[in-house]
Structure 1
Amino acid sequence: MRRRTFAATAGAAVVGAGALSIPLIAGAEERNQQGRDAYTWKNAVINGGGFVPGIIFNETEPGLIYARTDIGGCYRWQEDSRTWTPLLDWVGRDKWGYSGVVSMATDPVDTNRVYAAVGTYTIDWDPNNGAILYSDDKGASWGIAELPFKQGGNMPGRGMGERLAVNPADNAELYLGTPSGNGLWRSKDYGRTWGKVEEFPNPGNFVIDPNNATTSDNQGVIWIDFDQIGGKIYVGVADPADPLYVSEDGGATWTAVPGAVEALGSASGNRTIPTQSAVDNTNGYLYIVTSHDPGPYNGAPASGNGGKIMRLATQTGEWTDVTPTYNPRGVIPGFGGITVDRQNPGTLMAATRNNWWPDEILYRSTDSGATWSLSWDYAEGQDRHDRFDMDNSGSPWLSWGGTDSGPAYAVKHGWMIDALAIDPHDSGRIMWGTGATIWGTEELTQWDSQGELIGEENGQRVALPVEKFTVGVRAEGVEECATLDLAALGGTLVSAIGDVGGFVHTDLDRAEPMIPTGWSTGTSVDFAASDPDIVVGTGNVHGNEKGHVGVSTDRGKTWKNAARVEGVPGDGNGGTVAVTADGSAILWTPGGGQVAPVYSNDLGETWIPVEGLPVGAKIRSDRVKASVLYAFSGGTFYRSTDGGKTFADTGATGLPSGAVEDFRAVPGKKNHVWLAGRGDDKEGIPGGMWRSKDGGTTWKQITVFETADSVGFGKAAKRSGYPAIFTSALKGGKAAIYRSTDGGNRWVRINDDEHQWAYSGSAITGDPQIYGRVYLTTNGRGIIYGDIAG
């Protein structure tokens, strides 16, 4: 057999994810200060906030559990504290795509070994190829085996799988199913080197939409599972006409499984693919979930069922359709996760995918799929009854600021439930991932003692008495939000967050309800420098009922929505917002590039067009003088001296035309403005950082940085000193977090190689009351903050 191998180059660095080390430093003159200023790093607690497409229990070591996310790395469960520990914070900006984890595998023989298939996009959004990360110490440190193709941790189909699997009969051997027509791959040396399985005949062909860049990729080889009774290896393929293969000789040869097309694929005219599998190695069954779409967003096709649950008897080859036949709201749109109870053979569970209203359904069978019971059901009409209560106290924002409305509860089972796993060592424990969190319980077996939820009396469906158990948040430690902006008021941290709006933290160790403005994504926040009780924010909204801008006059305790602006549609368009130093005026630049900036002098009740600014100009307020604001667009810097009514070009030259990432005014320093940018190759303007001390008329470049993404300010090191300056920037070829305490003359790196968080450049700010503290935005690791150690 020809076998091409791709080793992790001499180059494959082993990188740590464990104990804090003293940060790297930029120069000898900084060593004394830097040695004293080693940092410790934590998350501001949100608990969840993003899609958890995979939860993987080790089959032989109790309490060893991993969770993978689509953009925020992966985590290991800590049984003693019931929290998750992040494992990929060492991923740097040069390989940021490694934070998208498309699959994980935990070794059932040597349980110290764990593997992650990484790479965020199969399209050119991610410039790097994917990789297999391998660890011999449960993720405390990793090696890297680079692959010659991309992987899609944040692409459609990321909840399918698992695409990565350890052979329990020979744990040195791993298999990897790949997208984009790259076929089936294999390693025989614990993930160090990989080669294509040339004998595997089918790389898949299923494409969601060939005319859409993000959905035109071949979904490829989806999952690998092992029949430990007969020693067979099964592989699911995204090909409706040829969806399932088996090897009976250890992977040397592969054949199509008889009957698979009729059971799983397109013979019924439904064009489905086998998205997940689960094996019962006691009864000899392989369960397979099918769907007409790889998810995670699919709904039912125009007509007919959205998917099936098929059971294959691995010893006889007999197929049985065990699909549940009943959904309280009608046709089952499809299925997400499926799991078997290894302690109770014949017990399995499955979740609907995108049932949407009023909620998803968990199905449970104790007779190998012959009959099913439901997690909730209707009595007469829409009188909903449930087997368990949902306790969202671990993440109060999971109510989304709503209230129960008939059968549609504010706190739901979830959506996008592709991760569903019963603990192989404890039948009472289950965890499932959603688009926002991880839910779980240790009381699952009470389900079976409850009996039926609904009976019949006089021809009517009636509820039967059920002693409910509790399902709670199990996402403590998983911080997967994409954070877009931050405002540190001193004792209060306000955030703008992708997908979940934003939060007001008065205790960084406590999850909070979300800001009640109706934002689908928060995009910008600000506060009045001399009256920080006045806080403003903006975000994307759905529909045209609410304004984009939110206003608080009590330091974020309560909020109201400002008026809408004519010409700015809903469904996005959050833009950026600023408030003058005294809170007398709010200035908003709508997103979407349709309407020029506007201002309000009545806390958003009415809006007036700003004069002198183009569409899309970003605005910041001077942090001392209430009448002064600044704006930037296309290489031109503007200033207003009348509270934002009018702006004029300052005449500044030498600034990049279109690659400015951020600019901010300095607290306590009138007319001081700092600008961070990536430069402009076309105009020959280098990237980096600029500062102005005269309100943006003249600028000095800070040449130590090649590029800079963000700039922010915190408490000064000395009472009369310049505020501490923080930036996420590239210096000497290293993207890192840097700090200056002397007005920008000298800079030290304050993070280290074990704490990089892939990308942390959208916004940065220090704390006005705690010297040295810095808050970072990340693209998938929530809100990170650092303090000087000790």
Structure 2
Amino acid sequence: MSLRSLRPHLPSRSRRRSSLTPTATLLASFAICAAQVSCSGGASSSGSTPPPTPPPTPTPTPQSLAVSAPGTSLLIGDTLQLTATSKYTDGSSHDVTSTAVWTVSSGAPATVSSGGLLGATSAGDFTVTATVGSLSATQAFHVATPRTTPGENGFNWASVNIQGMGYVTGLVIHPLAPYDIYIRTDVGGAYRFDRTRQQWIPLLDRYGRLESEIYGVESIAVDATDTNTVYIAAAHGRTLSGSNVQTPAEVLVSHDRGATWANTGLGAKSLYIGANDSYRGTTGERLVVDPSDPGVVYFASRQNGLWRGVRTTGDQFDWQPVSSSLPSPSISPGVTFVLFDKSGGTNSSGETLNLYAGVYGSGVYASTDAGSTWTQIASTVNPERAAIASDGALFVAFGGDEGATSGGVGRYSGGKWQDITPPGANAAFAGVTVDPANPRTVLAAANSNRKIYRSSDQGATWSAIPSATPDVYTPQYYPAGPGMWGNAALVIDPANSKRVWQTNGYGVLETEDITAASTQWTWQMNNLEELVVQKVIVPPVVTVPGTNTPGADLLSVVADMVGFRHASRDIVPAATIDSFAYVAQGTGIAYCASQTHNAVFVGWDETDVARPMSGITADNGLTWKHIPNTAPGTAGKIAMAADDPKKMVWAPYNASPVYTLDGGVVWNPAKSNGAPLPASWQLSNPWWNGDVLTADQVAPGTYYYFNNGDFYVSSDNGATWTNRTVAWPQDPHWVIQASIVPNPAKAGDVWMAFAPNSNQPWMYQLIHSSDGGKTFVPVTTLEYADFVAFGKGNDASTPFIYVHGRAPGDTADAIYKSEDTGATWTRISDPPRMQFGEINSLEGDMRTRDLVYVGQGGRGIVFGYGANSGITRPSSRHAR
């Protein structure tokens, strides 16, 4: 997609001049004044000297030049319009794109036209330079190879390019070539880094909604003897006890670098696991494989002590708790790390003799008999992460949860413990790493503010690592100083001792030379998509009215970063749709069906649920202004009437709905039978995101609303509501993710889907009403449907329908498409590769056939595109 900017005309600098010369003008003025009795207020001018003529205002001259773009990270085949802006000595700024001379760096994987249109031709990094007269400006860009996942029936799937953000809580690198890099996240699964393509490969997409808890990965480990074998510790397997659901800790193993996984049997022990709990990033790897005997694996739990697994048959392990001589705390974070020291040799069974474990609240413990007995070697109570040098020296980082301010670094070697905290480093520590090729080189990092220290003598002396600023390829929407929060893993790359990786609350950074006088960090975020997406909409805007700017590919509201206008699904957005101090969330977003460039969103500040986030746009999200009056509440869901964007209904979090007729200046209580319309139970938690409020897309002033089994309709702009008292085909009470989806081509044609909660083992059929919600009937051509959406069809009256669910005879969840209003269905995703386990939102594109988006709660946004979409991408299909 070509993103084009409007270029305002430069103001004329010519001035209208008098036909008189300056001297003649002055004489004429004096003569006129002298003929008067008085001048300038009546004082006599006889014999006075006229005031001097003020000097002419100097013509503004160009002072600086800047290059801007809708985003600086894009994919092969994309184009985007660059803008050159000159700032003048009078403080004004003007667009000089058309007069600038544009060039790209030598050998760049891109081209740039004389008008600043950039085209990405291959993967790589480069800079663009704009020159105007003696001024020049540059902008760095990154081009990545798009990664696609094959679907079915001509469809492919790919991620919308957002690049984050989310907490990457751990990183491990395999010690053998090709030195695979694996990361774990708190809610977004696990990834492997493709060093050749410089992008991340998601490893858990094959898991569906019934196993979605697996996307919280507590720890990750590799088999040091086999480059193909990797383990993860995650919640997997659901057990119901009344209305409560338990998801025990499981250790899973893959023998194909993460493409497929098998349980090892730990789940039967019902151990607690909490990948998104406190200390998730400051504590170390709780999972480790014996480097001498890969048939032995240890798991350090949060509340159930340290466990040892021994392989029995196939991928099954016999899991047992270790010796009682090691403390087994019952509160998190529990046992914070476990690791092996190969320098002590092995026992007669081939198992590594020396192990270490950190127990929060107790200290560091060592075993010299392959884990049979343990002895406390340090009483410092808050050990969190650790690393072993090739000579057997143990390095431990001490600290607390994210934001802790006290801690240190210790070394244990030759049976002696020594405090080696960097002098003056008054901080809690998290990451610690040792160079695999040199046991004397150690790095340690504070758990905030990117404070990293390096020692070349095992911690006897330290030097602080000075960082160059800014970082390279920082997504533009990251707030100032990103990467300063939640520092987690720190790892020296075994493939290159100067290369270092670090993870934090925003993602992954890497430097090519930690020894440089000023260390340059690069964000490695290609295809790392961990945003929790609450809602995706695709207003069918072709061109923004009054401009030549194409309509956005999509709009979204998300956790932490509020939301985005995605001008292109392949280009990282430059900005969020609202500003905030730390993290904030968008929860509801909608557009006006008849004036689709108008949209509105609501949300909340995650540091204070009472603080609203909001926005109204009349230009397809190019600019936003806040809702004038947010007194009714925060978050929840909002809808715009089909005929007038000033008419809206808002159902705030945990509050009764309200309506407005003037764009949100005055809100009035919505009523049913003379009483306030009840607050929806589905909106009683600010994180819940069921689509329980929407406008009919055709009928003026008509809305639909759902509250825990009650279906309401208003036809007077939300003022009064009628409870339809529907006879439901299935009882829909207590379903958090209930969705009301009107047909955009037919008034009163309403569809509903219910995605069961994790403690609801049953499934819900897709239901349909052709009478405005008076009656609903099940769609029997599907077994069930969790989400439903509409997209452009073969004609205007019959849009395509998309669902996430299951068709009769199928055995796994998938995305399906119907071209005949649900009579028949075609599967367009491939479940063994992708099941959309964290799906929160489904939305089709009414401008383009065979184009559908899926918003996920920890895996960003993916889109499926078929042959009729016209979308082509480079050949980069990864069949895994």
Match of 2:215 in 1: 99
Match of 1:280 in 2: 389
Q: CA deviation at 1:122?
A: 11
Does the aligned pair in 2 maintain the 1:246–1:256 contact within 8 Å?
A: yes
3-state DSSP class of the match of 1:388? coil
Match of 2:601 in 1: 537
The structure, 1 or 2, with the larger RCO (C-alpha pairs under 8 Å, 6+ apart) is 1
Give 1:557's match in structure 2, choosing from 613, 617, 622: 622
Structure 2 matches for 1:742-781, cutoff 5 A? 742-757=820-835, 759-781=837-859
Q: CA deviation at 1:545?
A: 9.4
Distance in 2 between residues matched to 1:111 and 1:745, nearest whole Å: 48
Tell me if 1:308 matches 2:408.
yes
Identity of aligned residues (%): 29
Q: CA deviation at 1:311?
A: 0.4
Match of 1:496 in 2: 557
Distance in 2 between residues matched to 1:154 and 1:757, nearest whole Å: 22
Q: CA deviation at 1:22?
A: 6.1
Match of 1:77 in 2: 193
Match of 1:303 in 2: none
Stretches of structure 2 lacking an aligned partner (at least 5 in a row): 1-146, 346-352, 541-551, 684-691, 873-880
Q: CA deviation at 1:157?
A: 3.4
Give 1:370's match in structure 2, choosing from 460, 468, 485: 460
Distance in 2 between residues matched to 1:205 and 1:367, nearest whole Å: 35
TM-score by length of 2: 0.71
Tell me if 1:701 matches 2:778.
yes
3-state DSSP class of the match of 2:357? strand
Does the aligned pair in 2 maintain the 1:47–1:394 contact within 8 Å?
A: no
Q: 1:546 to 1:42 in 2, by over 3 A?
A: same
Match of 1:318 in 2: 416
Give 2:706's match in structure 1, choosing from 618, 632, 637: 632
Aligned-partner residue type, residue 502 of structure 1? G
Q: CA deviation at 1:686?
A: 8.3
Does the aligned pair in 1 maintain the 2:190–2:202 contact within 8 Å?
A: yes
Structure 2 matches for 1:422-501, cutoff 5 A? 422-446=492-516, 450=517, 468-490=518-540, 491-501=552-562
Give 2:342's match in structure 1, choosing from 228, 245, 270: 228
Report which stretch shifted further, 120-129 or 433-442: 120-129
1:554-575 deviation digits (Å, cap 9, x = unpaired): 111111111343363xxxx411
Aligned-partner residue type, residue 711 of structure 2? F
Aligned-partner residue type, residue 156 of structure 1? S
Structure 2 matches for 1:485-524, cutoff 5 A? 485-490=535-540, 491-512=552-573, 513-518=575-580, 520-524=584-588
Tell me if 1:177 matches 2:177.
no
Tell me if 1:153 matches 2:275.
yes
Distance in 1 between residues matched to 2:308 and 2:725, nearest whole Å: 59
Q: 1:584 to 1:188 in 2, by over 3 A?
A: closer
Give 2:631's match in structure 1, choosing from 520, 545, 566: 566
Does the aligned pair in 2 maintain the 1:578–1:621 contact within 8 Å?
A: yes
Distance in 1 between residues matched to 2:254 and 2:157, nearest whole Å: 23
Aligned-partner residue type, residue 775 of structure 2? T
Distance in 1 between residues matched to 2:356 and 2:320, nearest whole Å: 12
Q: CA deviation at 1:766?
A: 0.9
1:1-52 deviation digits (Å, cap 9, x = unpaired): xxxxxxxxxxxxxxxxx995665xxxxxxxxxxxxx2421111011122110
Structure 2 matches for 1:254-293, cutoff 5 A? 254-257=373-376, 259-261=377-379, 264=380, 272-282=381-391, 284-291=392-399, 293=400
Does the aligned pair in 2 maintain the 1:663–1:710 contact within 8 Å?
A: no
Does the aligned pair in 2 maintain the 1:22–1:752 contact within 8 Å?
A: yes
Q: CA deviation at 1:367?
A: 2.5
Does the aligned pair in 2 maintain the 1:688–1:729 contact within 8 Å?
A: no
Report which stretch shifted further, 774-783 or 736-745: 736-745
1:434-485 deviation digits (Å, cap 9, x = unpaired): 1121112213220xxx3xxxxxxxxxxxxxxxxx342121121111111111
Q: CA deviation at 1:495?
A: 0.9
1:406-430 deviation digits (Å, cap 9, x = unpaired): xxxx123331111111212212211
Does the aligned pair in 1 maintain the 2:469–2:520 contact within 8 Å?
A: yes
Q: CA deviation at 1:286?
A: 0.3
Match of 2:250 in 1: 131
Tell me if 1:712 matches 2:789.
yes
Stretches of structure 1 lacking an aligned partner (at least 5 in a row): 1-17, 24-36, 208-216, 265-271, 301-305, 376-385, 400-409, 451-467
Q: CA deviation at 1:520?
A: 0.6
Distance in 2 between residues matched to 1:177 and 1:439, nearest whole Å: 27
Q: 1:170 to 1:190 in 2, by over 3 A?
A: farther
Distance in 2 between residues matched to 1:549 and 1:592, nearest whole Å: 13
Q: 1:115 to 1:679 in 2, by over 3 A?
A: closer
Distance in 1 between residues matched to 2:313 and 2:430, nearest whole Å: 30
Distance in 2 between residues matched to 1:196 and 1:679, nearest whole Å: 33
Does the aligned pair in 2 maintain the 1:600–1:607 contact within 8 Å?
A: yes
Report which stretch shifted further, 574-583 or 727-736: 727-736
Distance in 1 between residues matched to 2:750 and 2:419, nearest whole Å: 67
Distance in 1 between residues matched to 2:755 and 2:180, nearest whole Å: 43
Q: CA deviation at 1:287?
A: 0.3
Aligned-partner residue type, residue 631 of structure 2? E
Give 1:352's match in structure 2, choosing from 442, 446, 468: 446
**Equivalences, count:** 672
Distance in 1 between residues matched to 2:361 and 2:611, nearest whole Å: 44
Aligned-partner residue type, residue 299 of structure 2? L
Match of 2:235 in 1: 119
Does the aligned pair in 1 maintain the 2:557–2:585 contact within 8 Å?
A: yes
Give 2:640's match in structure 1, choosing from 579, 603, 606: 579
1:609-660 deviation digits (Å, cap 9, x = unpaired): 2233222383211112332222222322222222223322345433634436
Match of 1:200 in 2: 323
Does the aligned pair in 2 maintain the 1:517–1:559 contact within 8 Å?
A: no
Q: CA deviation at 1:274?
A: 1.8
Does the aligned pair in 2 maintain the 1:352–1:361 contact within 8 Å?
A: yes
Q: CA deviation at 1:496?
A: 1.2
3-state DSSP class of the match of 1:346? strand
Does the aligned pair in 2 maintain the 1:93–1:758 contact within 8 Å?
A: yes
3-state DSSP class of the match of 1:391? coil
Match of 1:724 in 2: 800
1:678-720 deviation digits (Å, cap 9, x = unpaired): 689xxxx98322212222223222245555332211011x225
Does the aligned pair in 2 maintain the 1:221–1:235 contact within 8 Å?
A: no
Match of 1:299 in 2: 404
Aligned-partner residue type, residue 527 of structure 1? Y
Q: CA deviation at 1:166?
A: 2.2
Q: CA deviation at 1:189?
A: 6.4
Match of 1:405 in 2: none
Match of 1:457 in 2: none
3-state DSSP class of the match of 2:233? strand
Q: 1:604 to 1:369 in 2, by over 3 A?
A: farther
Distance in 2 between residues matched to 1:557 and 1:317, nearest whole Å: 64
3-state DSSP class of the match of 1:187? strand
Distance in 2 between residues matched to 1:224 and 1:104, nearest whole Å: 12
Distance in 2 between residues matched to 1:576 and 1:82, nearest whole Å: 39
